Structures are given as C-alpha cells and as structure tokens.
Amino acid sequence: MTALGFLLDAAVVLLLVGLATRLLLTRHLFEAIVLFVSYGLTLSLAWVRLGAPNIALAEAALGAGVTGALFLNTYQRLTERIGDGPKSPLLEDDGSRDPPAWFKGVLGGGVLLLVLGAGWALLGAGRRPAFLPHEIAARLPETGVQNPVTGVLLNFRGYDTLLEIAVLVAAMAGVWSLDRGSRRFGRARGEPDEDPVLHALTRFAVPVTVVTAVYLTWVGSTEPGGAFQAGSLLAGAGVLLTVAGVLPPPTAASRPVRAMVAGGMAGFILAGIAVLPLTGQFLHYPEGWAYPMILGIEALLTVSIAVVLVELFVDVPAVPEPDPALESVDPSGDPLGRALRGKEGS
C-alpha cells in the first residue's frame, strides 16, 4: 500500500510540475487557462495526500474554480473584442515582447542556483521538536470548536481572518473603482432563459447547493469546511441564478449588494469590539460564548464571501476600443483636473 501510495504521490508531483511548466511555456492563452484549472484540481489531490482536506476543498472551489472562471470570463471578453482573428497578440503571445536573452539567462541561472540551494537546505534540515501543534491541540477545547483549522482561523488567529476579509473587500472596492458598472450579464430579470435544461438544473441544483453551503458552514467547527468553502459554493449557485436570469446581476450601484459585501467585515469587527469591555482584548470571546459567536461570524462571512465572488465573476466588462482621449499620456497627470476643465470649457 505504501509503495502504491508513493507511486500516486510521484505521479501527482510529476503532473503538477509538468502542468506548471507547460502552462508557463505555452503561447496560447486558452490552453494556459485550461492547464491552470487542471493544475488546480491536481493540486487539490496533493492537498488530500498531504492530509489537508480543508485546503483541498478550498483549492478546488476557489483556486481552480473561481480563479479559473475569472480567467475564462476575461478571456471571453477578449475574444468578443477581436472577433474571429485568432492571431491577435491578446490571445497568442509570440514572445516578441519578452525581455532580452541575457536577462533571461542571468535570471534563469539565479533561479536554478536558488532551487538547488533551497532544496539542499530544506532536505538537510532534520527533525525538530514540535511545540506549537501540541499547544494548539491542548488548548483547542477552549476555542469552542473541534476542527483545529477553524480554531486557528477564527479564534487563535481570528485577527488574520478579519484582515483576510479586508483583502477581499479591498479587491472588491478596487474592481468597483474601475467603474465597469452595470453591464448586462446573462438575462435581465423576468426574462428567463428559454433553455429548459439549464432551467431544470437551476431549479434542482440551487437548493442542493444552498443546503450544502449551510451544512459546510455549520460543520466547519468540527470537520473540514467553513465560511470560505461554503461561500464559494454559494457563489456558484449565485452565478447559476444570474446566468439563468433569475437574479439581477449584483453591482456596486445596488445598496443591498454593498451592504452584504461590507456586512461580514462589519459584523466581525463589531463582535470583536463587543467583547472588549468583558475580556479586555479584541476578539477575546467570553467563556462559553466562543462557539455561538464563531458560528454567527462564519454565517455572516459566508454571505459576504458569496456576494463578493459572484460580483467579481459577473462584473467583467466588455473591452472597448482604445479611446484616443485617454490613450495618450495624460499631460496633467491628473485626470480629475482635466475632466473639470473640459466641463468648464464646454
């Protein structure tokens, strides 16, 4: 069994390195994106082999799923723009813009040296006594949850998770600030897709997905699962509903959408502050309150994460032709000033 296991590990590792190399070397964008998704799925196999089912779930849903979907969606915009000309540099990179050979050579040599050095250093490192894992295991009962990863994420290092949500919100605000606005995606409300099969799948899959997401959020305290995995599942349901025209695409213009995006973070911060008078430290849950508070925070986060992911996926704009007014270097370096000036002139 160990020999078989080793063969499987070796195959996974070879596949990973092979896929990565091919995807970085290929000149065709579509191929690269397909390889990226395959790479992500292979990687989640690797996480299972390394005894990390929590990560395998997240990798399949977020790393391969959402990221792959983001790339495909963006790719779709590019093909719309160039029509049928497959030789556009947007989709086929002939490498003519790559840096000169000497740069590649020096960098490649450096990278090779680093691979050898780091590999040698890490393989040479011996066993060390593990302190932290034992400590985490010993104090896990105090966190109110039984899944050690959830315990670390939402109690021992809850602050990191709060800031991680802030990263998502920052990316969301950044994407919104690109002002791509209310591009119609799929169909408008009240104009359901005429395709009966898609409709049937939506009606069947969305309830199942929602139930599974609720289950994943809830089970995250004892078993693999949690807000991020559940949120990305819920996002899948949201994308399906938007594509089928049941839900309007969420945009920055809609106040409930903004409220849901900010809600998870707001709830998390307020929970952290609420316990301050009782325990004196931010996010230090009072005794007996850890489990309900963690569950409440996870539920809020699940909704927030789902809305952010749907929004990031749906809100990809068509790429317009270059606008001559904006293409040239802006002389003032200050478009607001220029915009105002245009206003006054007219």
Partner 1 sequence: MNPVDLYMLAGIVITLIALYAALTRAHLFWKVLAINLMGTGVFLILLAAPSRRTPEIADPLPQAMVLTGIVVAVAATALALGIALRVIARSGLPFLPDGDEEDQGSGGSAGEASR
Partner 2 sequence: MTEFELWSTVVIFGPLLASVVALSARPALLRAGLVLGSLSTLVGSAGLWRAVALYGPGRHPLGGWGQPLGIELWIDGFGVAMLAVTALVGALTSLYANSYFGDLSELSVRDSPAGRGARFFAPLWLLLWTALNGIYLSADLFNLYVTLEILGLSAAAIVTLAVSRQATVAGMRYLLVSLIGSLLYLLGVALLYVQYGTLSLEGLAAIGPSGPIPAIALAAMTVGMAAKTALFPFHAWLPPAHAGAPAPGSAILSALVVKGSFFILVRLWFSVYGGGSPEGLILLGVLGSGAILWGSILALRQVSLKRLIAYSTVAQLGYLFVMFPLLIPEPRLWNADAWTGGLLLAISHALAKAAMFLAAGNMSYAVAEDRLTSISGVAHRLPMSFFAFGVGGLSLAGLPPSAGFVGKWLLLRSAFETAHWTWIAVIAVGGLLTIAYVLKVLRYALDRDEAPEDFRPVPRRMEWAAALLALAAMALGVRALELVELLLVGGPFPW
Partner 3 sequence: MPADLTLTLVMEVASGILIVAGCLFFLAGTVGLLRFPDLYCRLHALTKADTLGLGLIVAGLVLQNPVWPARLQLVLIWILALSAAATVCHLLARSSLAAGIEPIREPGGSSAGVTSAGEDR
Of residues 139-198, those binding partner 3 (CB under 8 A): 195, 197-198
For residue 95, give both structure tokens.
Answer: 């490498």
Name which of residues 155 to 194 contact partner 1 (CB under 8 A). 157, 160-161, 164, 167-168, 170-172, 174-175, 178, 180
Contact window for partner 3 (CB under 8 A) among 29-37, 117-125, 137-145, 257-265 = 29-37
Nearest to 21 by CA among 121, 111, 89: 111
Q: Which does 247 bind (CB under 5 to 8 A by kind): partner 2, partner 1, partner 3, none?
A: none
Contact, 154 vs 297, CB < 8 A?
Answer: yes
Q: Which does 83 bind (CB under 5 to 8 A by kind): partner 1, partner 2, partner 3, none?
A: none
Residue 315 near residue 183, CB atoms below 8 Å: yes
Q: How far is the CB of 22 from partner 3 (least distance, A)?
A: 10
> What would the two tokens of residue 108 be?
């490649």
| Position 211 contacts partner 3 (CB under 8 A) | no
Beta carbon of residue 51, minimum distance to partner 2 (angstroms, whole number): 17
Q: How many residues form the binding site for partner 3 (CB under 8 A)?
A: 14
CA distance linking residue 224 with residue 243, whole number of Å:
30
- Distance CA(343)–CA(215), nearest Å, equals 55
243's tokens: 């594509």
The Cβ of residue 98 has, within 10 Å, a number of other Cβ atoms equal to 10
202 vs 302, beta carbon nearer partner 3: 202
Residues 183-242 that bind partner 1 (CB under 8 A): 228
Piece in contact with partner 1 (CB under 8 A), picked from 51-59, 182-190, 204-212, 247-255: 51-59
Distance CA 168, CA 303 (A): 13
Backbone phi, then psi, for 111, in 5-degree steps? Answer: -65, -40
Q: How far is the CB of 224 from partner 2 (least distance, A)?
A: 21
CB 197, min distance to partner 3, A: 5
262 binds, among partner 3, partner 2, partner 1, none (CB under 5 to 8 A by kind): partner 2
Angle at 157 between CA 156 and CA 160, to 5 degrees: 170
Q: Would you count residue 253 as binding partner 1 (CB under 8 A)?
A: no
Q: Residues 6 or more apart from 163 whose CB is under 8 A from it? A: none
CA nearest 245: which of 209, 210, 202, 207? 202
187 interface partner picked from partner 3, partner 1, partner 2, none, CB below 5 to 8 A per type: none
Interface positions with partner 3 (CB under 8 A): 28, 30-31, 34-35, 79, 195, 197-198, 200-201, 204-205, 208
